[in-house]
Structure 1
């Protein structure tokens, strides 16, 4: 192996509090800096930024900006973004460009092709083939993904289901896809942090309450609207039931209005984003993931690691996580089924404990160290195929 470091550029649209940004930041922050020179380019981020960005900077990741790389479709901005990315790639003379999420994946891979980057790898972090857009826009995205996959050496899926979805939509042949689970940084999960009782007291939840909770951006695709509707029914069946929503987003006011309309606002707490994730999860009794679409479900793994029994929708790779009775699965967009499952678990303390222990054991396989090792093994495989890096 030569002394020259392999230059890797990661590209993602934004560094918000979502799972995709967290996954990307952990990938760059935990990289083998003796082997790789790592850079990360992003577009502008609105709202609260991921706290893991500071770790990436501390680790020596080179940060760059593409001001026109935005999430919404805008032909003028998108062309400017391709030019910004192309210029960065030409100047940086990168060996590998690794793009993340749909928009940065399309524009970044086009720019990498135009810049003559020898290796292009893409991680979609899920997909937009259902749950996001209408039929016409979805067909356009499918076509664009097929086109971009043609000049990608590998596509990383977070789950087997995600890889199969891409194959079913004829994005590329199965051999182009590699499954690498999203890694979770478990080090902040401090068992010596605030007690569940202290967190509940801070949030105004009684110690004896039965707390149903979720964690994630307050946005339509995450399905909190269905959870609130389900909770309205659960409250009629479960004594002293409470609903705890951890996170923030554009649907916050709409969710408050819904809770007020259904008469459950007095039992719903919106905690916003929290740094003490483990402590807040430990204050819950049952975790719910009501998403309409998911890549893998980072918040679900965190809840499992916190020994919470989980109820989640049967979307993306969630079924793989909760297989073998590790949790309960329900159909997406089915508040009645979700409510029934939550009520069932609320009435069965022994099953909650069994699920919590089984979930903890499974979650341990999703560490950030294992994820980074697999990604870098993939880099080395593709470098060898191209006759580079030795």
Structure 2
């Protein structure tokens, strides 16, 4: 197809997500909206209310200057009446503002947003799942329903943005979408804050009460069952039996906080398991760790994992989602089966008891993570938008 005519009007893009809690999907969505070329794209973000205690990034997000559109009924939980109202809110918004592109994010926001876009006649619909929910931990019946809904919604989606090649293959295998409907765009990480944290290791350890010679295993993420921190605490108890100076540092908050504290007490390691809550200086705290652990049962790509690796930490992670595209066992970390605290403990011990391996693999981890920049992500998303605009015959902005 020949290049379509140019226009002086910016392309209007609406992003849709249920909430801005702390986590890779919300932070990645916000980066996408905030960093798009403002000379060519006028981007807005429709978002639902954020739950208390989920570690919201909303205040920080609103300080970026992004145009926010608050939707009272766009919630993550399944609530049929609220869901219908949310579709109505989105439909009215899309009809009124005449967006050329609607880009939805995560499962719930993706389903409701795409239905509304279909009803409103939006020319281009893009969806980023940020990792799917098809692994079966919601039960067989619900998983089948989720797959059917995603397959149905994919029928009126122009492109699905997968974070990894593995994700694309899973969509094809499950019959959700063919390869040609998918584009692989890795999540982009803003690495600028890391440059300001060199030399913070001793400082952050002193703040947290960790001795300079302690061995710190750390993780970052919502304290929720799907993130597998209970397996990590269980594995750490085995590590602690052999490594006298071992500590476990959990960065994050969530509904599993009390249960994890109870588990640590039950296993007799509560004096070595540190709950640091959400931190605005995660990049700095990472400098105080020796090993980064990701025990999740599901991940899209694992933003926290990329950040940990960028801090030159060797990784011990579960082989889920796109994690195997980041962690190469025996080179920059170790992969283990999810739900196996014993295997997790073995992998952690392999690194905990070998300082030279931690140093060598940590350097390789830093090199791998450096390829996941926010600049690369934005460039690929803009290229995808331009490709779809050309396919639909919609004029591109003159500066494109």
Task: Name 2:306's counterpart in structure 1.
Answer: 301
Secondary structure in 1 matching 2:316: strand
Q: How does 1:1-390 map to 2 (within 5 A)?
A: 1-46=6-51, 47=53, 50-51=56-57, 54=60, 57-59=63-65, 61-192=66-197, 195-323=200-328, 325-390=331-396
Distance 1:270 1:309 in 2: 21
Distance 1:131 1:56 in 2: 36
CA RMSD, Structure 1 to Structure 2 (Å): 1.4
Secondary structure in 1 matching 2:193: coil
Distance 2:7 2:188 in 1: 29
CA contact (8 A) 1:25 1:52 kept: no
Where in structure 1 do 4 or more consecutive aligned residues deviate above 6 Å?
Answer: none
State the 1:163 CA deviation.
Answer: 1.1
Task: Pick closer, same or farther for the CA change 1:133–1:272 going to 2, 3 Å.
Answer: same
Q: How many residues align?
A: 389
Distance 1:178 1:56 in 2: 29
Structure 1: which 5+ runs fail to align? Answer: none
Task: Pick closer, same or farther for the CA change 1:93–1:135 going to 2, 3 Å.
Answer: same
CA contact (8 A) 2:235 2:345 kept: yes
Per-residue deviation, residues 23-66 of structure 1 (Å, max 9, x unmatched): 0000001010000011000110013555476456534x221011
TM-score normalised by L of structure 1: 0.97
State the 1:193 CA deviation.
Answer: 5.9
CA contact (8 A) 2:55 2:253 kept: no
CA contact (8 A) 2:50 2:56 kept: no
State the 1:241 CA deviation.
Answer: 0.7
Distance 1:99 1:49 in 2: 22
State the 1:323 CA deviation.
Answer: 2.4
Distance 2:58 2:31 in 1: 7
Secondary structure in 1 matching 2:177: coil
Distance 2:342 2:327 in 1: 20
TM-score normalised by L of structure 2: 0.95
Task: Pick closer, same or farther for the CA change 1:297–1:17 going to 2, 3 Å.
Answer: same
User: Which structure carries more relative contact order (alpha carbon 8 Å, separation 6+)?
Assistant: 2
Secondary structure in 2 matching 1:266: coil
Structure 2: which 5+ runs fail to align? Answer: 1-5
